[in-house]
Amino acid sequence: GQQVQQSPASLVLQEGENAELQCNFSTSLNSMQWFYQRPGGSLVSLFYNPSGTKQSGRLTSTTVIKERRSSLHISSSQTTDSGTYLCAMGMGYKLTFGTGTSLLVDP
């Protein structure tokens, strides 16, 4: 079965609203990361967050290893936040990705 589950699969926001994206892991892991994928484009690393809480601007990532989950909070969303957000768990030398959350922020 899927080792990394992301929810929701898709989300539509009005500009200015907040969003909470979830990632759950079925196995123990060494680390986890969040990536942002531009529509039709490449992936950009947002957070390497194996545990605890990290913040970068309007983005906050919280990982609770013991509960095998991580979340990404986007505050005061902007249209430029639209795209796909992927979480990935690290085990050894490789990352295993979730299927992503597709976010659309309307003006």
How many angstroms separate the CA atoms of 42 and 49, rounded? Answer: 20
* Residue closer to other proteins (CB basis): 31 or 75: 31
Residues 6+ apart with CB under 8 A from 57: none
* Residue closer to other proteins (CB basis): 16 or 52: 52
Q: Which of 7, 31, 62, 75 binds other proteins (CB under 8 A)?
A: 31
Binding footprint of other proteins, residue count (CB under 8 A): 24
3-state secondary structure 19-54: EEEEEEECCCCCEEEEEEECCCCCEEEEEECCCEEE
- Rule CB under 8 A: is residue 83 a binding residue for other proteins? no
Q: Which of 14, 42, 56, 80 binds other proteins (CB under 8 A)?
A: 42
- Stretch touching other proteins by CB under 8 A, among 18-26, 56-64, 73-81, 83-91: 83-91
